[in-house]
Chain A
Amino acid sequence: MPQLTLHANIPAPDDFYEALLAAHEGLSKAQSDALNARLILLLANHIGDPGILREALEKAAGQSAG
């Protein structure tokens, strides 16, 4: 069973983080929320595997609750 990757997996983390923020540059809160939602859906579809998606949902929910 594939598992959610939790070790560092992004080759150039600073570049990605900068690109993520740049995508939101100049957007209203509503536009940013919409972008985030589209991004989540695109990435979720790319992952596809229901087990990994469930694990990611649980991890994300657990973090915010903690």
Chain B
Amino acid sequence: MTRIFETPIYPYQRSADQDAPAPVRHKVVVVGAGPVGLVTAVDLAHQGVPVVVVDENDKVSFGSRAICFAKRPLEILDRLGCGQQMVDKGVTWNLGKVFFHDREIYSFNLLPGEGHRRPAFINLQQYHFEKFLVDHIRHMQADGAPIEIRGRNKVSAVGLHNDHVTLEIDTPEGSYNIDAEWLVACDGANSPIRKMLGLGFTGQVFEDNFLIADVVMEAEFPTERWFWFDPPFNKGQSALLHKQPDNVWRIDMQLGWDIDREAELKPENIRRRLHAMLGSDAKFELEWTSIYTFQCARMEHFRKGRVLFAGDSAHQVSPFGARGANSGIQDADNLAWKLRAVINGEAPEALLDSYCHEREQAADENILNSTRSTEFITPKSEISHIFRDAVLDLAEHHEFARPLVNSGRLSVPTIHDGSPLNGPDAAGLPAETRPGAPAVDAPLRKGWLLDRLGDGFKLLAIGIDVPDELAGIEVVQLATDESDALAARWLGGAGRALYLIRPDQHVAARWLEYDRDAITAAHDRALARQ
């Protein structure tokens, strides 16, 4: 059986650019067709910005890699018109179980509050995620969207200029040159673009190895996330079991620092480990195995002139908490509308500095969370180990200790407090929808709030009339009694509210009274025009 990740899905094709007498200039070139590059490109094309994606490969990710996609990224995909197939294919899980030594010490339910369209998480192999996006791009192309993917196109040189970037690209038929007005580097943690530009990537390397095994098995295990601290089958280390679609199970096993990597990767040794974990009579096939180490690191600035970095190229976290791909997709969401506004001349380049401000803030938050999880899962000192075990011992019997157990703080969106794009806040409205926050979904009489917001600037008016037409802002008028969730999340105790929502569905500003000048000023501010 040929596996999905072994089949070329964007095979090399000769481009007219390769025969052009002079380098062809493109509006935006995205380097890397992983989740972040694909979402960036889809978002740009969705907003009408012509984009070319180049990738040195021609296939989806090898192996499952990122497997947890969180609520906010799913909402972003909904905005782009491809969330539903992800959710339909993905495995929805709510229950997590925590084991210590040979016993289950407690379980937790991730079930979000009522009134959200999307679950907290789905499990979906990265190769499915990428395949759905490539399929979506094919549909967009059929509808005439300005988007193109070039497989086996490897950037071999990059040159920075004031108003463009030059690229040399190697292909199976030799190299060619193109220019890009803007370059988005989504080329992963080892980002060749970052290295070619000599930009730093600093942080902390964790001295540990993790074995990942994707196994196909018909198993009785329920659809839950099981996490083991110091289990009998992996003494002194940790382990994770997670279900993916198609009867594929993800197993992560911590191996420690001093290992014989080659020996550990031998199928017979992996099988022996898995039998110890799953039972000697477990029947499974190995789909993909890998050993990884990780670091928490980030670039100092996510922008270098006309080059913008998004996803792992800009920041890397430990895998605990699923904060890699999820934060990268939110980078794309944050960047695409800003790039469009700058390219269309609606906003100054300074708007792109707010991308750095906001997403560097998010990277710091993700690195902080993932570093803390790593410290708990793999204690670095004797006393850290003592406290970790004490927390786990107490958690078995006492509810109070469970919030201290940290097997990964699962990805939630960053609220961009202090963003230069934020406008005024109004006292008395709920904290969760304050300026800088991503719009919180709520059911309406028909459909969902986030679908009504879509993209583009919106003035969400709940229980208040908007008498004017506003340039560049579409009004979404709702009654206060659409749903209890809408009232709780967007009104609190107030009887009415006005929200200016950015194209990435983040709150820019909010008021209790209509004031045309204030709204125009907040709109200008959200576009960095003042």
Binding site for B on A (CB under 8 A): 33-34, 37-38, 40-42, 45
Contact = CB atoms under 8 A, between A and B. Distances in A.
B230 to A, nearest CB: 13
Contact of A45 (B383, B393, B401): B401
A40 B383 CA distance: 13
A64 to B, nearest CB: 13
A38 to B, nearest CB: 5
A45 B400 CA distance: 7
Interface stretch (B92-100, B278-286, B384-392): B384-392
Contacts of B391: 41
A65 to B, nearest CB: 16
B394 A41 contact: yes
Contacts of A41: 387, 390-391, 394, 401, 404
A33 B394 CA distance: 14
Interface string B139-181: 0000000000000000000000000000000000000000000
A41 B398 CA distance: 11
A42 B398 CA distance: 10
A42 B390 CA distance: 10
Contacts of B389: 34, 37
A37 B401 contact: no
Interface string B370-411: 000000000000010011011101100010110010000000
B283 to A, nearest CB: 40
A17 to B, nearest CB: 22
B261 to A, nearest CB: 32
Given A34-B390, A41-B390, 12 more contacts: A33-B383, A33-B386, A34-B386, A34-B393, A37-B387, A37-B389, A37-B390, A38-B390, A40-B390, A41-B404, A42-B394, A42-B398
Contacts of B398: 42
A38 B386 CA distance: 9
Query: Most chain-B CB neighbours within 10 Å: which of A37, A40, A42?
Result: A37
B132 to A, nearest CB: 44
9 contacts: A34-B389, A34-B390, A37-B387, A37-B389, A41-B390, A41-B394, A41-B401, A42-B394, A45-B400
Contacts of A37: 386-387, 389-390
Contacts of B401: 41, 45
Interface string B324-360: 0000000000000000000000000000000000000
Q: Give the 9 A-B CB pairs with smallest separation, nearest first.
A: A37-B390, A45-B400, A38-B390, A33-B386, A37-B386, A37-B387, A38-B394, A34-B390, A41-B390
Nearest to A48: B400
